[in-house]
């Protein structure tokens, strides 16, 4: 009965294309043959497929986060804040997706993971160059990270370029200066390869924005978009840490890090510190 209904419905759609001998299909456009053949298990364990797909999906979302964040940086530099808001709002929505991915991975039990963990060798999410690129475009620069990628000159070049370039917060601070706020020269002319540190002039500027929302509406919107991204990023970090703890406890990570201990440390880092500090002072 269901099959007949489906056939009748299909036949009623007269405009549906069925001849693709010389036309591009959905699979062609998305290169599904490449995408769906990339999940290659190194063990015969059923759950290794879950492990691979979760990380593939996360890498795709990270790619889009980088694309949108770099687009937002360009828009802010062009003084087109409205365009950046759409991109940054999209980043926040993407972040909710990669956070939920941890819920799926957490269905993997410690006993199941240990069946294939040895097959990973020293491969680890710690080495994800796209995750590091996200950190770089958000302004968190760590020089030792670049050493991991010397094996691949192309990847190393991409990371080095982002490492030396202004991050999302840097261009946002320049937007404050463009609006007439007296931002410290040391901040505006700082070495972008260094991780940003709190500055009183930046805090004073954001405080003024929040105290005069109507006057600085665009900058206020920008600030809240940044807070959204950092909020979701911290939630992602927390879910990452708890998922790792749930599956391997306090074992050393395959990449050599302290695992849960390392993940707990990075929870204390802020990309946009003044935007959090001023909440106590408003």
Q: Which residues are annotated as part of the binding site?
A: 51-55, 113, 117, 240, 254
Q: Where are the beta strands (DSSP E) in the chain?
A: none
Distance CA 199, CA 28 (A): 51
Residues marked as binding for substrate? Answer: 51-55, 113, 117, 254
Write the DSSP assignment of 103-146 as a string of letters.
HHHTTS-HHHHHTTGGGGTT--GGG-HHHHHHHHHHT---GGGG
Residues marked as binding for heme? Answer: 240
Residue showing tokens 């940086």: 73
Residue showing tokens 């990371």: 159
Distance CA 101, CA 51 (A): 11
- Local structure of residue 41 (DSSP, 8 states): -
Please say whether the beta carbons of 122 and 256 come within 8 A: yes
Please say whether the beta carbons of 236 and 65 come within 8 A: no
Residue showing tokens 């693709």: 20
Helix (H) or strand (E) holding 91: helix 81-105
As a 3-state breakdown, the chain gives helix, strand, coil percent values, each rounded to 5, of 65, 0, 35
Please say whether the beta carbons of 272 and 169 come within 8 A: yes
Closest CA to 62 of 131, 129, 132: 131
Please say whether the beta carbons of 130 and 99 come within 8 A: no
Please say whether the beta carbons of 232 and 95 come within 8 A: yes
């Amino acid at each position: 009965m269901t099959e007949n209904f489906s056939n009748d419905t299909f036949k009623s759609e007269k405009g549906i294309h069925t001849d693709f001998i010389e036309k591009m299909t959905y699979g062609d456009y998305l290169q599904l043959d490449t995408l769906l053949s990339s999940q290659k298990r190194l063990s015969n364990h059923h759950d290794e497929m879950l492990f691979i797909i979760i990380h593939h999906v996360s890498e795709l979302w990270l790619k889009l986060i980088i694309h949108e964040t770099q687009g937002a940086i360009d828009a802010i530099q062009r003084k087109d804040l409205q365009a950046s808001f759409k991109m940054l709002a999209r980043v926040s929505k993407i972040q909710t997706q990669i956070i939920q991915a941890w819920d799926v991975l957490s269905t993997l039990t410690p006993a199941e993971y240990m069946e294939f963990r040895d097959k990973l060798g020293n491969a680890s999410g710690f080495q994800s160059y796209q995750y590091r690129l996200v950190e770089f475009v958000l302004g968190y620069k760590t020089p030792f990270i670049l050493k991991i990628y010397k094996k691949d000159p192309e990847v190393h070049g991409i990371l080095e370029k982002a490492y030396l370039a202004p991050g999302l917060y840097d261009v946002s601070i320049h937007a404050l200066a463009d609006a007439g706020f007296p931002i410290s020269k040391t901040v505006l002319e700082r070495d972008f390869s260094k991780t940003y540190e709190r500055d009183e002039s930046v805090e004073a500027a954001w405080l003024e924005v929040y105290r005069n929302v109507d006057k600085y509406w665009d900058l206020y919107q920008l600030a809240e978009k940044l807070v959204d991204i950092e909020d979701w990023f911290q939630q992602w970090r927390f879910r990452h840490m708890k998922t790792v703890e749930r599956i391997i406890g306090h074992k050393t990570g395959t990449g050599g890090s302290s695992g849960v201990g390392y993940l707990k440390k990075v929870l204390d880092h802020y990309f946009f510190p003044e935007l959090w500090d001023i909440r106590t002072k408003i």
